[in-house]
Structure 1
Amino acid sequence: MTAQAVGTPQDAEGATWLDLLDPTPQEQILAEQLCGQPLPALADLNAIESSSRISVRGGAAFLSSPLLKRNGPEFQTTPVGFILSENRLFTIRFQSYQAFETVAQLVAAHPVTPATPPAPPATPEGEQRPAAPLALKAGEILVALIEAIVDRLADILESVGDLLDTLSRDIFRPPSASQPVRSMALRQRDLLQRVGNSGSLCSRMRDTLLGFERISLFLSESRKVAASAPAAGFSLSTRQISMAEPPPDPQAKAAPYTLPGALRTRIATVSRDLSSLEAYVSQAQDKVEFLLDATLGFINIEQNGVMKILTVVSFIGVAPTLIAGIYGMNFKDMPELNWSFGYWYALGLMAATIALPLAWFWKKGWLGGIK
């Protein structure tokens, strides 16, 4: 299946997967003509209720979920939409994703069944003939897309783990003794910002995982009749998974978008992977909360140290101020006014009231302490 631009309905003949990347209004109208019903816009894909993210209309399944992407040092979340019918898959996205490019390469390299398949070559008795290649179905492409997206999300989660480990080392690393107070304040502010960004990243990742888990559960619970189940062939997947086709239920009545048994098995595996990733995200969120508490605790310790210094300064200034206030009163009868050494006596008394509290605070460890 070669990739090509679709400008007219004739260009889309025989196309199984139609990918709309930030579509223009004209492209949206053309896609709606090909689908036979209205397609969701960006505002519809951003809806958070389950009925908007998973719905069935006109024999097609409309699925949407937020998807996390890393753009350099930052992470962004934009919605993606999937419309799965019996013969076609429509994808709507508003920025490029590596998972879509990966699956597009798999689709382009996938062998297609010729219109008139040649007769298989003769083989020795007892030797199995090679199976003819199969044309890709829309459900196969959708499952491969979800698998590639989940693998990409797992890679992002690994980088999140490394990010939290680095943040933990920076938080618990003892500050340099020569570091100025202003630099300490900037460092604490930077740590708080990094902790907040990590918490936001975990929250966005959790929204993405929940959205795709709903999609995988919806697809894995579908059923198809025996006549619509494809034969075994090459499996389009970024994973090395080979599953036997389970026996179909002849009494089951299927919707046009339902998946065959082998694809349901693969999507069930994806659902389990998503559950394990959610558990990892929950653990990461707990670690973010712990790092936030630790950062705030260190900030409180620094503030307590500053308050101690202010308390000492204010305390040692009380007694000298009291002495200066007493001897600054203009009373006629004050014995010390006639002393020739009264001035030095007052200065010495004020110095003593400063030195004694300082020595006491030093002994208690408020100014560094002594062992």
Structure 2
Amino acid sequence: MLRLLRHGAAGLETVTPADGWRPAEDVFWIDLLKPTRAEELAVEAAVSLEMPTREEMAEIEPSSRLYQANGATFMTATLLSRRDEEHRSEAPVTFVLTKGLLITIRYDELRAFDLFAERAQGQGIATGTAALFSLLDAAVERLADLLETTGLDVDGVSSAIFRRPKGAQFEALLTELARAQSLTSKTRNSLVSLSRMFSFAALAHEIAEDAECRAHLRTLQRDGQSLTEHAGFQSSHIAFLLDAALGLINIEQNGIIKFFSVAAVILMPPTLVASVYGMNFHHMPELAWPFGYPMALSMMAISAILPILWFKRRGWF
């Protein structure tokens, strides 16, 4: 899908390019969303640039993600998209800044782009550079919201771990922590890729020659750095909670094993007495004794009570 945003237009326009297609003079943003090969070729011919393929966008080496060619600046960052209601995936997005025009290439729906399209007219955006910064602002804002939401979820899990009733199950809590850790890790990866992009964007002559753009870029860099540090702290907090949950599980398991160990020791002496007097030998001294049965029961009771008293005195039971 090829969409355009023109200065003064009410919203995005969807275009089906024909042979010899060229964007109008007032177009400042071209958005290629899941583009067909024909749409890619039409844009390449219109701006005289070769656009990166989906495979090239997925590469992780900086030389494939951040480069300049034919007077244009190519920058690829990793953002987060929602594939379903519960899971988010990493989605590479390429930003091409050339001659006051911004071209974006992506293969996933991204909320940040929708937010930018809604705000663009109200903000009076009319150039590709301004569109780039507004898009980056929206992307950083979305990542900050994700970190905030995940942090609230982690706080809830933390309270549930340390205030849970004895014997409650840990499966749901561990699953929630694993989900939070995965999302935090992906958010941090996205922030790191954006930070690299911010550093490289300073080389674009449209930004380097504009003091206001340089100041805006420094603000984005500070925001990205602070959010990256926050994501690292949140990841450490989640790791601590995982260790704490596993420690509590081990404590409960040790308590169960301890209970059965004590029970086995308590029952061992009565079992020995019952085994001795349960043997079927003909000549047993107590076999014909009237008080033999009460004596055996008393010995079993005493042999069970003595270990209980000993364990309580030692604080083991």
The answer to whether TM tops 0.5 is: yes
1-structure distance, mates of 2:70, 2:292: 104
Structure 1 residues 327 and 64: CA distance shift in structure 2, 3 A: same
2:105 to 63, 67, 92: 92
| 1:218 alignment partner in structure 2 | 200
Q: Distance in 2 between matches of 1:258 and 1:45?
A: 25
2:93 alignment counterpart: 80
More helix by share: 2
Report whether the alignment pairs 1:103 with 2:53.
Answer: no
Distance in 2 separating the partners of 1:366 and 1:167: 32
| CA-to-aligned-CA distance 1:219-270 (integer Å, 9 cap, x gap) | 12x264xxxx7xxxxxxxxxxxxxxxxxxxxxxxxxxx86633212211110
Contact kept? 2:32, 2:104, Cα under 8 Å: yes
Of structures 1 and 2, the one scoring higher in RCO (CA 8 A, sep 6+) is 1
Counterpart contact for 2:184–2:235, Cα < 8 Å:
yes
Q: Shift in Å at residue 26 of structure 1?
A: 3.4
Secondary structure of the corresponding residue to residue 337 of structure 1:
coil
Question: How many residues are treated as equivalent by the alignment?
Answer: 304
8 A Cα contact 2:21 2:42, kept in partner = no
Decide which of 194, 199, 206 is 2:181's aligned counterpart: 199
Question: CA offset at residue 87 of structure 1?
Answer: 3.8
Q: Secondary structure at the match of 2:307?
A: helix
Report the Cα distance in structure 2 between the residues aligned to 1:13 and 1:86, rounded to whole angstroms.
14
Cα offsets for 1:310-334 (capped at 9, x unmatched): 1122112221222233233454543
The percent identity for this pair of structures is 36
Q: Structure 1 pair 190/365, CA: closer, same or farther in 2 (3 Å)?
A: farther
TM-superposed deviation, 1:336: 2.0
Change (3 A) 1:19 1:223: closer
Q: Is the 8 A contact 1:66 1:207 kept in 2?
A: yes
State how 1:153-192 maps to structure 2 within 5 Å: 153-175=143-165, 181=167, 184=168, 187-192=169-174
Q: How many angstroms does 1:215 deviate by? A: 0.6
Structure 2 distance, partners of 1:52, 1:322, is 77
User: Residue 346 in 1 paired to residue 301 in 2?
Assistant: no
Whether contact under 8 Å (1:21, 1:93) holds in the other structure is yes
- Structure that is richer in strand per residue: 2
What is the deviation of 1:77?
A: 2.5
Within 1, Cα distance between the matches of 2:265 and 2:55?
A: 63
- Which amino acid in the other structure matches residue 116 of structure 2? V
Q: Structure 1 residues 87-96 or 33-42, which shifts more?
A: 33-42
Displacement of 1:110 in angstroms is 6.2
The answer (yes or no) to whether the contact 1:223–1:261 under 8 Å persists in 2 is no
| Residue in 2 that maps onto 1:142 | 132
CA distance in structure 2 between the aligned counterparts of 1:26 and 1:316, rounded to whole angstroms: 82
Partners of 1:33 and 1:11 lie apart in 2 by 8
Question: Which residue does the alignment assign to 2:15?
Answer: 6
Which of 42, 48, 55 aligns to 2:67? It is 55
In 1, the alpha carbon distance for the partners of 2:299 and 2:282 equals: 22
5 Å-filtered alignment, 1:149-298, equals 149-175=139-165, 181=167, 184=168, 187-220=169-202, 222=203, 224=205, 260-298=210-248
TM-score normalised according to structure 2 size: 0.85
Question: CA 1:356–1:17 in 2, change beyond 3 Å: closer, same or farther?
Answer: same
* RMSD over equivalenced CA pairs, Å: 2.6
- Relative distance call for 1:365 and 1:175 in structure 2 (3 A) is farther
1:338 aligned counterpart, secondary structure: coil
Contact 2:81–2:108 (CA<8 Å) still a contact in 1? no
Q: Distance in 2 between matches of 1:345 and 1:267?
A: 91
Stretches of structure 1 that go unaligned for 5 or more consecutive residues are: 112-134, 230-256
Q: Deviations over 1:12-67 (max 9, x none)?
A: 33332110122234333333333434423333222222222212233322211211
Q: Please tell me whether the aligned partners of residues 73 and 204 of structure 2 are also in contact (alpha carbons under 8 angstroms).
A: no
Counterpart of 2:117 in structure 1: which amino acid?
A
Which residue in the other structure is 1:244 paired with? none
Relative to structure 1, is the Cα distance of residues 326 and 150 closer, same or farther in structure 2, using a 3 angstrom cutoff? same
Change (3 A) 1:355 1:27: farther
Check if 1:67 corresponds to 2:86.
Answer: no
Three-state SS of the structure 2 residue aligned to 1:91 is strand
